[in-house]
Amino acid sequence: MTPTTETTIGIGGAAESTDMVLNIGPQHPSTHGVLRLRLVLDGERIRHAEPVIGYMHRGAEKLFEARDYRQIVMLANRHDWLSAFSNELGVVLAVERMLGMEVPERAVWMRTLLAELNRVLNHLMFLGSYPLELGGITPVFYAFREREELQAVMEEISGGRMHYMFNRVGGLKEDLPAGWLGRARHAVADVRSRMDVYDRLVLGNEIFRGRTRGVGVLTPETVHAYGVSGPIARASGVDFDLRRDEPYLAYGELQDTLEVVTREEGDCLARFECLLEQTHISLDLADACLDRMAELPQGPINQRLPKVLKAPEGHTYAWTENPLGINGYYLVSKGEKTPYRLKLRSASYNNIQALTELLPGTLVADMVAILGSMFFVVGDIDK
C-alpha cells in the first residue's frame, strides 16, 4: 500500500498521494451556527470527518450551581433556542420529582399543549431551512408564515417569542388570557390547512428527492452506538418515543392520538419525512389538549411555593422527548436552594457525533444534504 501524507491546503493542488484537509466552518451557511467539520478528502470523497465543537460553550451546567431553582429555568431554556418551552419543562419536572410535588391538572394539560406547539415551531424551522440548504428558497417563506401563526399565541400567553419563561416549579407562571383557547385552536387549524405545501413543493420535487434518497444512510446499530434519538433515530427504524414508552405530563391519556412515526430507510429523505409527519401528529395532539382544556373546570394553574425553595438532599433523573430527541436532567441536591449538580443530556450533542460514521465514504457534494438532515442546534451541542 502506497504511504500517504496529510497536508492542509489553502489554495492550489497537491500530489495524487496526498489527502486534502478541508475545514467546513466554524462559520458556514450550512452549519446552523459555529460548528466546525474537519474533513479529510480523497478527491471528491470524504475519508474522515471530525465534528469540532465548543465554539459556543457558555458553561450553563456550572452556572446552574450558582442559581436557585427558580433562576435556573432562565438558563435551561436557551441551549436549544428553537425548543425553549420543552427545555424549561425538563428542569421543572426534575425539581418537582425531587420535591415529590403534585402539579394541578390544568397545568399538566396546559404544559402538554404548549410542548406540542413548541414542537411544531421547531419542526417548521427545519422543514423550511433544509430545502433552503439544498437550493430551494420558497419553502422557508411558507415555514415562517406558519410559525408566525403559532408564535402569536405563544407570545400572547407567555410574553416571549423565543425564550418563553412560562414554566415554574409547581406549574405555570399564570392563568390563560380570556379567549386564548379559541385563538390557539384557530391557529392550529390554519397551520394544518396549509401543511400540504411541503408535500407539493418539497417531497414532490424531483431534485429534492434526488439529493436526499439513499444519501447519508444511518443504520440502527449506529443509532444505538451513539445514543442518537428523536426523529433522526426513528427514521432509521428505531421505534422509541418517551411520550409513548414512558409517558409524562398528559401523554398517558393521549395514546389514541399519539402515533410514533418511523421509517426503515435511514436516509436524508426518511429523516425529512419523519419530521413532516411528526408535525401533523403534534397538531393533532394540540387539538386533543385543547378539547380537554375546554372540559376542565376552573382551578389553579400552579402550586404555592415557599419564599425560599430548597430541594431535599438526594438525586433524581428526569427525561423528556424534546423536538430534536431525548433530553435528560440528572439533578443532585445537598438540601440547599441551589442544585449541587445538574447534568444536562442534550439531544443534538449525541446526534451530531454520528457524523463521524455517516460522512466517510460520501461525496463532498452530499455533505450539506447529510448535515442539514441531522436537525441540530449548535447551542444544544455546546450548552
Q: What is the predicted pLDDT for the residue at 3?
A: 63
Q: What is the predicted pLDDT for the residue at 55?
A: 85
Q: Is residue 14 part of a domain?
A: no
Please, where are the H alpha helices in the chain? 60-64, 72-76, 84-99, 105-133, 138-158, 180-193, 196-198, 206-212, 220-226, 231-234, 242-245, 268-295, 347-353, 355-358, 364-372, 378-382
Residue 251 is given by DSSP the state G
As for how many domains the chain has, the answer is 2
Q: Answer whether residue 207 shows pLDDT above 50.
A: yes
Task: Report which of 240, 232, 241 is spatially closest to residue 266, judged by C-alpha positions.
Answer: 232
Indicate if 195 and 175 belong to the same structural domain: yes
Q: Is residue 11 part of a domain?
A: no
* Mean of pLDDT values over 54-71: 88
Indicate if 44 and 98 belong to the same structural domain: no
Torsion of CA 368, 373, 376, 378, to 10 degrees: 0
Indicate if 44 and 104 belong to the same structural domain: no
Q: Answer whether residue 161 shows pLDDT above 90.
A: no
Q: What is the predicted pLDDT for the residue at 24?
A: 83
Indicate if 157 and 31 belong to the same structural domain: no
Indicate if 35 and 184 belong to the same structural domain: no
* Mean of pLDDT values over 275-300: 95
Q: What is the predicted pLDDT for the residue at 237?
A: 95
CA distance 306 to 126: 41
CA distance 53 to 40: 17
DSSP 118-168: HHHHHHHHHHHHHHHHTT--HHHHHHHHHHHHHHHHHHHHHS-SS----EE
Q: Is residue 8 part of a domain?
A: no
* Mean of pLDDT values over 54-73: 89
Grid-cell match 402538554, residue found:
112
Q: Is residue 288 part of a domain?
A: yes
Q: What is the predicted pLDDT for the residue at 6?
A: 58
The residue length of the chain stands at 383
Q: What is the predicted pLDDT for the residue at 266?
A: 94
Given pLDDT bands bounded at 50, 70 and 90, which one contains residue 18? low
Q: What is the predicted pLDDT for the residue at 19?
A: 77
Give tens-digit pLDDT for 210-254. 999 999 999 999 999 999 999 999 999 999 999 999 999 999 999
Indicate if 174 and 194 belong to the same structural domain: yes
Given pLDDT bands bounded at 50, 70 and 90, which one contains residue 30? low
Identify whether the C-beta of residue 134 lies closer than 8 Å to the C-beta of residue 127: no
CATH code, domain with 75:
1.10.645.10
Q: What is the predicted pLDDT for the residue at 15?
A: 45
Residue 201 is given by DSSP the state I
Q: Answer whether residue 311 shows pLDDT above 50.
A: yes
Q: Is residue 35 part of a domain?
A: yes
Domain end, chosen from 52, 74, 93, is at 52
Buried b (16+ CB within 10 A) or exposed e, 270-296: bbbbbbbbbbbbbbbbbbbbbebbeee
pLDDT cut 90: percent of the chain above it = 75
318 SS3 class:
strand
Q: What is the predicted pLDDT for the residue at 25?
A: 74
Indicate if 24 and 172 belong to the same structural domain: no
Indicate if 261 and 337 belong to the same structural domain: yes
Q: Answer whether residue 80 shows pLDDT above 50.
A: yes
DSSP 331-367: EEE-SSSS-SEEEEE-HHHHHHHTHHHHSTTSBHHHH
Q: Is residue 1 part of a domain?
A: no
Q: What is the predicted pLDDT for the residue at 13?
A: 47
Q: Answer whether residue 180 shows pLDDT above 80.
A: yes
Q: What is the predicted pLDDT for the residue at 81?
A: 87
Indicate if 284 and 322 belong to the same structural domain: yes
Q: Is residue 41 part of a domain?
A: yes
Identify whether the C-beta of residue 25 lies closer than 8 Å to the C-beta of residue 353: no
Q: Is residue 311 part of a domain?
A: yes
pLDDT cut 70: percent of the chain above it = 94
* Mean of pLDDT values over 160-182: 92
4 SS3 class:
coil
Q: Are strands 171-172 and 314-322 parallel, antiparallel or unpaired?
A: unpaired
Q: Answer whether residue 62 shows pLDDT above 70.
A: yes
The pTM for the full model equals 0.91
Q: What is the predicted pLDDT for the residue at 190?
A: 96
Give tens-digit pLDDT for 101-138. 999 999 999 999 999 999 999 999 999 999 998 988 99
User: How would you class 337 by CB atoms within 10 Å of its CB: exposed for 0-12, middle for 13-18, buried for 19 or more?
Assistant: middle
Residue 314 is given by DSSP the state E
Indicate if 29 and 134 belong to the same structural domain: no
Q: Domain range spanning residue 87?
A: 60-381
Q: What is the predicted pLDDT for the residue at 23?
A: 85
Identify whether the C-beta of residue 143 lies closer than 8 Å to the C-beta of residue 129: yes
Indicate if 36 and 108 belong to the same structural domain: no
Task: Report which of 323, 256, 322 is spatially closest to residue 292, judged by C-alpha positions.
Answer: 256
Indicate if 181 and 99 belong to the same structural domain: yes
